[in-house]
Amino acid sequence: MSARVTQNAMRILQKCSRVAIGDDAYGLSMPEIADRDIYMEVAEILRRCGYKWNKKQKTHLASESEDYDLLLDVIATGDAPPANPLAYFPTPEHIAQSLAEHCAVCLTGVTVDGELFNSRILEPSAGTGALIDAFIDVAARSGHVLHCDIVAIEIDPLRARILTRKYAKDLPEGLTVEVICTDFNAFARKEIAEGAEFDAIIANPPFSGDG
Closest alpha carbon to 81 in 47, 30, 125, 39: 47
Q: What is the mean pLDDT of each run of 10 residues along the chain (211 residues)?
A: 82 90 82 90 89 86 80 85 63 86 86 92 89 87 88 87 84 92 91 91 68 42
Amino acid sitting at position 78? G
pTM of the model: 0.63
Quote the Cα angle for 136-142-145, to 5°. 90
pLDDT at 91: 80
Do the strands 59-62 and 26-29 form a parallel or antiparallel pair, or are they unpaired?
antiparallel
The pLDDT value given to residue 30: 86
For 28, counting Cβ atoms within 10 Å of its Cβ (0-12 exposed, 13-18 middle, 19+ buried), the class is buried
Contact indicator for 198, 122 with CB cutoff of 8 Å: yes
User: Any residues with CB less than 8 A from the CB of 72 and at least 6 apart, and which?
Assistant: none
pLDDT computed for residue 163 by the predictor: 87
- List beta partners, residue 77: none
How far apart (Å, rounded) are the C-alpha atoms in residues 149 and 176?
5
